[in-house]
Amino acid sequence: VSALVALQSCQCLAWKPHSVVAWGAESQHVVAGYSDGTIRVFSISRTEMELKMHPHAVALTAIAYSTDGEMILSGGKDGLVAVSSPRTGMTIHVLAEHKGSPITVLQCTRKQYRDFGVEGAELWLATSSDRRVSVWASDWLKDKCELVDWLSFPAPAGPEGLRSLPPSLAAFCPWEPGTLVYVGFGMQKEALFYSLRKKQVVEKISLPYFATSLSLSPAACFMAVGFGERLLRLLRCPSSEAQDYAGHDDTVHLCHFAPSGHRLLTASHSAVLLWELTAS
């Protein structure tokens, strides 16, 4: 790590999607977003930085690869979303729809051609801290990026004495194509399932507290939700059967399923836990 990187704070990172190369090996790259608005791509196998870009004027708050690994989506504290090419080092799009509110989530997923009446091979979403979610269809080779849906979730006035509101989080549902799940500060403590086809919330799951982290298993119908009350809840969908787990020392600010769906990583202030999911 260079001295320059050492002087900056890494705010977010994402693994490049696995692509099979010679001899069946998997390319291993990670992209990281920093407090000075820069993006750096690192090679894990060579333990070196391969590319540096500067698409933002403020600190990054979210970052993701496109599903084919050919583009990098990054979101900043000012709400701007940039789409950059790691091949050329150029930023090809800057989207200002969320301007004024920090981006909390960026996620990409594959889609069937002409799903939702728009062209493109990829669907992606951006979520900002003001409880707004935008959904886009993109064809990066044709330089197309089209808004599919725009969601805004209501909330009461912030509670007195609360230092910060719970984050706004959204994720595509792997077992229900065309559906996304949203959690955040709102009128009720709940997870909302929103259908992009029906343009409405189709299911609500009650939660004990406002969520601070969210992850959906890519391999089974499980949803993990973390809370500020040192609690992790594992939900089996669609039955909403819940199991709660303690063990964290503070807010569960991160939960993330492995690609296999068999393991779950969670993190709090000074504890990182790895959970094994059994078939039962």
Query: Taking 90 as the threshold, does the pLDDT of residue 73 lie above it?
Result: yes
Q: Per residue in 38-71, pLDDT tens? A: 999 999 888 889 999 999 999 999 999 999 999 9
Query: Taking 90 as the threshold, does the pLDDT of residue 28 lie above it?
Result: no
The order of strands in the sheet holding 254-257 is: 254-257, 263-267, 272-276
CA distance 135 to 123: 7
Q: What is the mean pLDDT of residues 226-254?
A: 92
Query: Taking 70 as the threshold, does the pLDDT of residue 114 lie above it?
Result: no
Q: Per residue in 181-228, pLDDT tens? A: 999 999 999 999 999 999 999 999 999 999 999 999 998 899 999 999
pLDDT value, residue 24:
47
CA distance 45 to 99: 37
Neighbour tally for 65: CB within 10 Å: 21
pLDDT value, residue 220:
87
